[in-house]
């Protein structure tokens, strides 16, 4: 009987580990004890569950032979997400963290494989919201074909952080023969983007209720790795590629022009911008070319491959609104010029200052 009683007690202890019963996050959830263990097992391992993470070691252990089978170079990136609000039209901070890190790997030609997740949580943050964010991260990771394999949780006093900050680090592998770099641009190259610009920046602006607008604008938050894979399949000699996040298209192209010491000419009438986004920009005096995006990439391709790359992008869900928006020119080097709808030219420099803080 004593053995049965002890067995029942052990099972009750295990069951208590299965669920976080608190309604809000407390400092105990970051204290290293039972509350923290429950939080990790319930919300994080319960959602991110995979063999590498569920071992609960202090590090994830990756089979190098599997990486070598994919390519010959490791790609490694990290980013932190402090967006306000954390829930916005078209996504939330967790989905954004996964997609943003996946995209940073993908635009370098890498196959994204593994992510880490570090969370800094404010005391008092609703457990239900944290659970929803973790679930959306799992869904985003599954959709992108990556695994969240390790992480960290810290809880800080009220007011020490604004609700929730997330850091994600990503690991991927670059296949042999792929050489994508901002220094690769050549005169005559064609500039292609995969859709409408500025959706994310406009959606966050409206979500903050800084404008009394009734708008249906949603963030373009999405993973781009399958789109990049499709592009590389028809044009492995892509010269440069980058996702146009903070600073928008204008900042990316200025970085390209300066790295390659070439000029870039954009055609204003070819650049896709939604009417609602254009309206937000006009009200606030903003430039759509600087507006942040979270699901748009800029691709620089050789002229003889432009048509096939554009067609491939248009046949992909993440590129159905793709457009050729400009070309690389020999001079003036390091300068981005926009040919306006009036036929005049204007210089578009890199973003100075910050149009909208805490955009990602």
Residue 71: predicted pLDDT: 94
**Which three-class secondary structure string do you get for 112-161?**
EEEEEEEEEEECCCEHHHHHHHHHHHHHHHHHHCCEEEEEEEEEECCCCC
Residue-level pLDDT at 211 = 63
By the 10 Å C-beta count (0-12 exposed, 13-18 middle, 19+ buried), 279 is classed as: middle
C-beta of residue 194 within 8 angstroms of C-beta of residue 244: no
The pLDDT averaged over each successive group of 10 residues in the chain (360 residues) is 50 55 92 90 85 72 92 96 96 98 98 97 97 97 96 96 98 96 97 98 87 80 98 97 96 97 98 95 92 97 98 98 98 96 93 83
Q: Write down the pTM of the prediction.
A: 0.92
Residue 55: predicted pLDDT: 65
β-bridge pairing 164-174 and 73-81: antiparallel
How many of the other CB atoms lie within 10 Å of CB of 263?
19
- With beta carbons less than 8 A apart as the criterion, state whether 198 and 293 touch: yes
pLDDT at 8: 52
Greatest distance between any 2 Cα atoms in the chain = 91
**How many whole angstroms separate alpha carbon 109 and alpha carbon 119?**
28
- Structural domains of the chain, ranges and CATH numbers in brackets: 2-174 (3.30.1330.10), 190-347 (3.90.650.10)
Tokens read off for 346:
């204007």
Residue 106: exposed, middle, or buried by beta-carbon count in 10 A (0-12, 13-18, 19+)?
Answer: buried
């Amino acid at each position: 009987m004593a053995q049965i009683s002890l067995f029942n007690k052990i099972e009750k202890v295990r069951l208590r580990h299965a669920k976080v019963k608190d309604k809000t996050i407390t400092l105990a959830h970051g204290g290293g004890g039972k509350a923290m263990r429950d939080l990790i097992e319930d919300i994080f391992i319960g959602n991110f569950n995979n063999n590498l993470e569920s071992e609960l070691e202090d590090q994830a252990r990756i089979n190098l032979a599997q990486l070598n089978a994919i390519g010959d170079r490791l790609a490694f990136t990290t980013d932190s997400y402090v967006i306000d609000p954390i829930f916005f039209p078209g996504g939330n901070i967790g989905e954004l963290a996964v997609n943003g890190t996946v995209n940073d790997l993908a635009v370098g030609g890498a196959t994204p494989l593994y992510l880490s997740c570090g969370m800094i949580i404010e005391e008092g943050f609703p457990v239900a919201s944290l659970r929803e964010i973790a679930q959306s991260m799992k869904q985003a990771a599954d959709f992108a074909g990556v695994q969240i394999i390790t992480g960290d949780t810290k809880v800080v006093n009220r007011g020490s952080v604004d609700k929730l900050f997330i850091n994600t680090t990503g690991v991927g592998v670059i296949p042999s023969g792929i050489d994508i770099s901002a220094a690769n641009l050549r005169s005559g190259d064609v500039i292609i983007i995969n859709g409408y610009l500025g959706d994310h920046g406009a959606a966050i602006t409206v979500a903050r209720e800084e404008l009394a607008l009734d708008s249906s604008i949603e963030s373009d938050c999405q993973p781009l790795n399958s789109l990049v894979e499709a592009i590389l399949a028809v044009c492995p000699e892509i010269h440069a590629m980058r996702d146009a996040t903070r600073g928008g298209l204008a900042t990316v192209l200025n970085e390209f022009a300066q790295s390659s010491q070439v000029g870039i000419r954009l055609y204003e009438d070819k650049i896709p911008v939604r009417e609602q986004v254009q309206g937000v920009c006009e009200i606030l005096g903003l430039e759509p070319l600087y507006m942040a995006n979270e699901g748009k990439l800029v691709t620089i391709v050789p002229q003889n491959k432009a048509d096939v790359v554009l067609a491939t992008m248009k046949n992909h869900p993440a590129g159905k609104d793709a457009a050729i928006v400009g070309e690389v020119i020999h001079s003036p080097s390091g300068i981005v010029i926009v040919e306006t709808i009036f036929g005049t030219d204007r210089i578009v420099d890199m973003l100075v200052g910050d149009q909208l803080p805490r955009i990602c």
